[in-house]
Amino acid sequence: MKIPFNDLRRSFEIHKNEYENKVIEVLNSGRYILGEEVSKFEREFASKLGAKWAVAVDNGLNAISLGIETLGLGGRDEILVQANTYIATMLAVSHNNVKIIAAEPDEYYNMEPLEIERRITNKTKAVLITHMYGQAADMKEIPKICRNHQLMLMEDCAQAHFARYESQCVGTFGKMGFFSFYPTKNLGAFGDAGAIVTDDETVYEKLISLRNYGKRDRYYNELIGYNSRMDEIQAGLLRVKLKYMEDINGERTEIANQYISKISNPHIKTPRVRANATSIWHLFVVETANRDGFKRYLEEQGIATEIHYPIPPHLSGAYSKEEWTQKSYPKTEYYSNHLLSLPLYNGMEQEEIEHVINVVNAYAPEA
């Protein structure tokens, strides 16, 4: 049996007619940029999350970049980011010419709250956490630490749409939450798309302007803005998918629970979920001593896997000359050498799930 790492067509097929009808509806509307679909998506997405406002943009990276830009930081200001995040989080900070301070993750792969206190300096202005692999970070301690040190809190939720901490959705704990709707994300568009959510009206107004050349009204430009708009077609398709969000996250949770309860190989450590937190299982990441050998073994058995991420940002060529990358990040490096993501996708068949479990349980590392 061949098992792909992901297969986006399967969840498309379930609501194929609705998606197709939506595309045709938008084509017939004659309005392709910043119309009804975008503003309806913004209202629906914000309300489902429990945020006041959402601003739809062209992708997740630009969501973070524009969000940081509204804070007006620069020069020698610093933003604290976790070292094991996907590099896009870092890129957004760099695009704003703000300095990166990296902090090590905890055992749930999320920002370690104590690390924030260890790494802040008198130039640190904000903390940008990433809810890694779908699981909410420690949203009891992190907001408290940010308040105590007067740091602005921002959340990269690109992997964690509707993950919760004590029933509150991630993205709503701080100044802003950033989302990507890249096709493989749990709420994935059919192309690039992203959004920022916020309860801060000033931030909201700035974002509406920044994404559209820096203007609120036609030809009155107040800011040096960008073209970072979400397409009507993507917004329409996202509105269709948003209706099925509980099913999407629920199905993934069901698969993850089977993996957790049935993978019993002592060489494979399955992920744990923090008390009071939920994961939406964007990725199902296991830890093992000989990761590359395990990956090869699964490949030979026809099971495709991925590594998230093989090169942590501080070891990437892009950041080789920066000051923060001269420090060592042993936990982050350990994770990048020992984690492996197993196939977990919507539309995965029960026999595929069981096959993965059986093959994983039959794995014996070479001595």
Identify which of 226, 260, 190, 215 has the alpha carbon closest to the alpha carbon of residue 63: 226
Question: Of the two residues 153 and 360, which places its CB atom closer to ligand PLP in the complex?
Answer: 153
Contact present, 281 and 256 (Cβ < 8 Å)? yes
Residue 87 burial by Cβ neighbours in a 10 Å radius (0-12, 13-18, 19+) = middle
**How far is the first Cα of the chain from the last one, in angstroms, to the nearest whole number?**
27
118/64 Cα distance (integer angstroms): 24
**Number of shown-chain residues binding ligand PLP (CB under 6 A):** 15
The mark string for 139-178 relative to ligand PLP (x by CB under 6 A, - otherwise) is -----------------x-xx-------------------
Residue nearest to ligand PLP (CB): 60
CA-wise closest residue to 130 among 75, 183, 63: 63
User: Is 182 a binder of ligand PLP (CB under 6 A)?
Assistant: yes
Cα separations (Å) of 239 from 188, 195, 210, 229?
11, 13, 23, 16
**26 vs 158, beta carbon nearer ligand PLP:** 158
CB of 297 to ligand PLP, least distance (A): 27
Footprint of ligand PLP on 70-109 (CB under 6 A): 85-86, 88-89
Q: For the window 325-364, what string marks contact with ligand PLP as x by the rule CB under 6 A?
A: ----------------------------------------
Q: Is the peptide bond before 244 cis (omega within 30 degrees of 0)?
A: no
Comparing CB distances to ligand PLP, the nearer of 6 and 159 is 159
Q: Cα–Cα distance between 150 and 145 in angstroms, integer?
A: 8
Residue 203 makes contact with ligand PLP by CB under 6 A: no
Please report whether residue 135 would count as binding ligand PLP according to CB under 6 A: no
Q: Which of 60, 113, 174, 177 is close enough to bind ligand PLP by CB under 6 A?
A: 60
Q: Where along the sequence are the contacts to ligand PLP (CB under 6 A)?
A: 59-61, 85-86, 88-89, 130, 156, 158-159, 180, 182, 192, 194
